Amino acid sequence: MSRVDSKVRRLVAVAAAAALALSMAACSGSGGSSTKTVVWSSWGTPEEIARYKAFDTQFMKDHPDIKVTFQPVADYGDYHTKLLAQLASGTAPDVFYIGDDKIGQFVNSKALLPLTDLMESSASKTKPDDFAQGLFGATKKGDEYYAAPNDSNPDALWYDKAALKAAGVTKDPATLAEKGEWTTEAYLDMNAKLKKAGLTGSMFWNYWATHYSWISSQGGKAFDESGKFVANTDPTSVKAVDVLAKNFQNGTFVVADTLPEGAGADSVFVSHKAGFFIQGRYTIGTVKAAGDPENYDVVRWPTPDGKAAPTGVAVSYLAINAKTKNKDAAFEFWTNFLSAEGQTFRLKGGGNAVPSIKGADKVVLDGYPEHAQTMLDMRDIGFEDNATEASVPGLSSDISDKMLALYQGKESTKATLDDIAKMISDKTGK
């Protein structure tokens, strides 16, 4: 899940070459006198597309009265533009994925079917309380849900034991975390040793989860309960962002988005040139493909007192078209896809995400990495992008542009945070 900007580079994927004809009307009619057709759409890697198709096949076997037609879209960058056009023309799928950086826009457009009653009905395999509550983000307005998380990817600190050893680091981060000793001081000391050894300390993607996870882990607050941005006025937050920025500016931390073609963050990490890489569970595929996965493990974000704190969790969402002609069939597909059984089916065997629902955790605890439980723990207390930010198209990217300038030393910490606060206020009224 990555991109040209950080979101696209995390989520962009080339879909299967044989895309189904997009001319099919998505608010589909019946495929026969007693068969309902559900059309659904997503982006995805070839491996993800294969799993989606396998799920569809099994679903239709279990539900012979429902025909499922899948419409993959090749590029995350094109996906939402196409979906909006389909919604406007009345040809949108019955069920569709939405990225977490776009979900607020879709909720506000009233294009999504309200789901609370359906989720709480006897037909549901996905009760609201079954999900990690911090993952709903902007999908919830009042007591109404308009989508639910397909799965999740807590932004964990993957670390390279070989790189740490080469830098003279003798303590294991996950072991320190288990003892309650994974402090900010210990983490920054490791990064300083990595830099002194000529290695990169940590690589972060420039997006909301990096900025706000660091603030939260250091005891600060980016948004208050009303959704107002307060990081510029909270002294703890200002100090935390200043520490983060200075480590980028002196080269200890690296913005992964800015690394050159051919020498990207994945290459740096698997060649043992960086100590930490902040990513989701999909990193398993990267390190296993490199041939020495035993060198890698995962740990939560460090905190001043060594105790776990809430941090960012990237998700995508599944929604139902408010104008679907087959609401019952669409919900049957939706609730099965998101159910514990459905998520297990999609994520088992080294899948690239962490389940978002209770009852499917065993797919993560398959023996790798050693401290895989960390990702489940992070999911349970983690958070999605604040609804204030996620509800305005382009706002999250604009904020990341401001933060990148700070990380590159082009602006001061307080001025950057003040600019962000004003930008959010101007665009949201908060």
Q: What is the DSSP string of 268-288?
A: HHHTT-EEEEEE-TTHHHHHH
Those residues whose C-beta lies under 8 Å from the C-beta of residue 156, and which sit 6 or more positions away, are 278, 279, 280, 281, 298, 299, 300, 374, 375, 378
Q: Is the pLDDT of residue 23 over 80?
A: no
Q: Which fold has domain 6-152+316-377?
A: D-Maltodextrin-Binding Protein; domain 2 (3.40.190)
Calculate what percentage of the chain has a pLDDT beyond 90. Answer: 87
Q: Which pLDDT does position 389 carry in this prediction?
A: 95
CATH, range 156-311+394-428: 3.40.190.10
Q: Is the pLDDT of residue 11 over 60?
A: no
Find the length of the chain: 430
The per-residue b/e assignment along 158-191, b for 16 or more CB within 10 angstroms, e otherwise, is: bbbbebbebbebeebbbebbeeeebbbebbbebb
> How would residue 13 be classed by pLDDT, with cut points 50, 70 and 90?
very low
pLDDT digits (tens, 9 = 90+) for 77-128: 899 999 999 999 999 999 999 999 999 999 999 999 999 999 999 999 999 9
Closest C-alpha among 326, 304, 382, 306 to residue 25? 326
pLDDT digits (tens, 9 = 90+) for 272-318: 999 999 999 999 999 999 999 999 999 999 999 999 999 999 999 99
C-beta atoms surrounding 69 within 10 Å: 18
pLDDT digits (tens, 9 = 90+) for 343-396: 999 998 876 899 999 999 999 998 999 999 999 999 999 999 999 999 998 999
Q: Which pLDDT does position 74 carry in this prediction?
A: 79
CA atoms of 375 and 278, how far apart (whole Å): 12
| Range from 39-48, 218-227, 323-332, 414-423 carrying the lowest mean pLDDT | 39-48
Calculate what percentage of the chain has a pLDDT beyond 70. Answer: 92
Whether the CB-CB separation of 253 and 227 falls below 8 Å is answered with: no
Determine the Cα angle at 23 with ends 21 and 331, to 5°: 85
Q: What is the largest CA-CA distance in the chain?
A: 71
**What residue segments make up the domains of the chain, in order of their start?**
6-152+316-377, 156-311+394-428
Q: Is the pLDDT of residue 429 over 50?
A: yes
Q: Which helix (H) or strand (E) holds 164?
A: helix 161-166
Axis crossing angle, helix 235-249 with helix 413-428, rounded to the nearest 10: 120
Q: Is the pLDDT of residue 4 over 50?
A: no
Query: Do 156-311+394-428 and 6-152+316-377 have the same topology in CATH?
Result: yes
Q: Is the pLDDT of residue 5 over 80?
A: no
Using the 8-state DSSP alphabet, how is residue 256 labeled?
G
Average pLDDT rounded to a whole number, residues 36-64: 95
Q: Is the pLDDT of residue 179 over 90?
A: yes
Q: Which residue has the tokens 């009345």?
A: 90
Q: Which pLDDT does position 47 carry in this prediction?
A: 87
Closest C-alpha among 399, 430, 429 to residue 417? 399
Q: Which pLDDT does position 349 carry in this prediction?
A: 81
> How would residue 31 be classed by pLDDT, with cut points 50, 70 and 90?
very low
pLDDT digits (tens, 9 = 90+) for 304-316: 999 999 999 999 9
Whether the CB-CB separation of 190 and 169 falls below 8 Å is answered with: yes
CA atoms of 90 and 240, how far apart (whole Å): 47
Q: Is the pLDDT of residue 30 over 50?
A: no
Whether the CB-CB separation of 335 and 120 falls below 8 Å is answered with: no
Burial of 62 (0-12, 13-18, 19+ CB in 10 A): exposed
